[in-house]
Amino acid sequence: MHIINIAKKIDALLGFISRTFMIISAAALFLIAVMIGADVISRFFFNTSIVGVAEVVANALLVIAFLQLSYTIRVGGLLRTELTDSYAPWVVSRSLWLIGYLLGALLFFLIAYYSWDPMMSAWSRKTFEGHASLRIPTFPSRFAVVMFSGLASVNFIALSVRSLLVIIKGDDSYIMKTKEEDLKIG
């Protein structure tokens, strides 16, 4: 029982971190919308665009997508079929959850692992995107891919532990309650 309590505390911490990054990404998305709106207004009224909006938006959207990733994983928002949940026996569907979570952890671990060298290269070489009037460093977006892929992998491992506990205990009320809380808070 002590291990279950520790797992629940870690799970709650991951939930808090995921919600925090989701809120940050929502604020960043709002700022991007304001930038795009200002650029459109500038083009319409002054027949000129704001320098660098395209570069900032392109890099920021990548970061925003990865900021939202762990929250999306936690609330079960990734692509999945409900067919197995509806028609497969309970143990089979929960075992498929476990397998899917383990494969997700592996996938995002590999994304983080293979993105490490490009991130370090962007840091050491100080690479930039854009033209002479506005250059955007590539390191922050590459860092976001590594960091949030790693966080996604950790979240998938936490969900794997949850699924394993569900299979062992035969009760999935904790998973359903946690998903409902995450959706209500988020």
Which sequence spans correspond to the domains of the chain? Answer: 2-185
- The alpha-helical segments, DSSP class H, found in 88-172 are 90-125, 139-169
Tracing tokens 């506990």 back to the chain, one arrives at: 165
Which range has the worst mean pLDDT, 38-52, 123-137, 142-156, 168-182? 168-182
| Alpha-carbon distances, residue 102 vs 88, 105, 141, 155, 169 (angstroms) | 20, 5, 26, 10, 19
Query: At 129, is the secondary structure helix, strand, or coil?
Result: strand
Band the pLDDT of 126: cuts 50, 70, 90. Answer: confident
Q: How far are the Cα atoms of 84, 88, 120, 158 from residue 176, in angstroms, in the given order?
A: 16, 18, 40, 15
pLDDT for residue 177: 61
Q: How far apart are CA 33 and CA 57, in angstroms?
A: 9
Which candidate, 98, 114, 93, 112, places its Cα nearest to that of 164? 98
pLDDT value at position 59? 86
pLDDT in tens, 46-91: 998 888 888 888 889 999 999 999 998 888 777 666 666 677 787 8
